[in-house]
Amino acid sequence: MDHLRPDLTRALYQAMRTARDLDAEAVALQRQGVFPAYVSVRGQEAAQVASATALDPERDFVFPTYREMASALAYGVDMVGYMASHRALWHGGLYDVMASRFGAVNAVVGGPVPHAVGWAVGERLRGGDGVALSYFGDGASSEGDVHEAMNFAGVFGAPVVFFCQNNRWALSVPNERQVAGGSVAARAEGYGMPGAVVDGNDAGAVYEATAEAVARARSGGGPTLIEALTYRVEPHSTSDDPGRYREDTEAEHWRVHRDPVALLRAAVLAAGHADEADLAEADAEAAGRAEEIRDGVAGAPEPHGSELFTHVFRETTEELTRQHRTWQEEVEL
């Protein structure tokens, strides 16, 4: 941590602390019926915040899955608009994907990976120096789309950072039952790119590994596969019961002894980048911002029901028109 700038480590802590508080608020909103469902990021804040912070929001583009709330926050996305996706107010949320350069929530396992490669190839063809970063999990690493995308990127030298958050559980399936050889990063050699394994709960290590991969891609060095070893301490989603497939003591060990927010706090203090008063102020600011985002998304107006029928097809069909007419008749009764 000593070799990172003090302002950077403080920014990482601020974003991670805010993400932690917002995550707790989001779980509460789901329990209250405001969100139909939610996927927690607790325990993965370092992997997400540090990797997103290593990018340039003016040039690069992020392709997330459905669990990258902390990445969106660190990248500067409008968080009320982003969290609206969890409230099902609009397809992919209410924020501007193109202006934010942060893709819509993608629930297709492995889906963001080929999208990132396609964008990266297009960016290079147009003469830009942007880099795509694609998030995916250890479970997604078994999907064919991921292998094909990595092979394509390796062949064409696409400026992509493949960022695998290996949280040890592909929903209810542990690593040893779905990752042959035990390492996602080891597969990089077969695609002609560097592979790196990093402690996903060490924000400094994640930042440095990602910054190196981004610099390589931007300078024409091609793609990199990063495997950030972390842990999903909460259920896969709010509808999941992890007690059916893993021991509570396992999650508790990571929650208590490997908490990324606590680890970064200790490192920042040890490096002299902040004192307890500074971090107490950061904690208060984080809690306040999380509450503001919570209130904003909870109070956002619901879209008009007619939007069920818009943006389905470029040109409407007879069947869709019939359904719209039926809906109107029922609403007007």
Active site residues: 232, 236, 245
Spacing of C-alpha 333 from chain mean position: 44
Distance between CA atoms of residues 248 and 231, nearest Å: 13
Torsion of CA 116, 117, 123, 127, to 10 degrees: 150
What DSSP letter does each residue of 95-111 carry, written as one string? S-HHHHTBPPP--STTT
Is there a contact between 187 and 240 (Cβ–Cβ < 8 Å)?
A: no
Query: Which has the closest alpha carbon to 160: 216, 105, 107, 217?
Result: 217
Distance between CA atoms of residues 60 and 78, nearest Å: 17
Is there a contact between 84 and 90 (Cβ–Cβ < 8 Å)?
A: yes
What DSSP letter does each residue of 18-53 carry, written as one string? HHHHHHHHHHHHHHTTSSS-----TT-HHHHHHHHH
Distance between CA atoms of residues 94 and 32, nearest Å: 21
307-328 burial, b at 16+ Cβ within 10 Å, e below that, comes to eebeeeeeeeeeeeeeebeeee
Is there a contact between 54 and 214 (Cβ–Cβ < 8 Å)?
A: yes
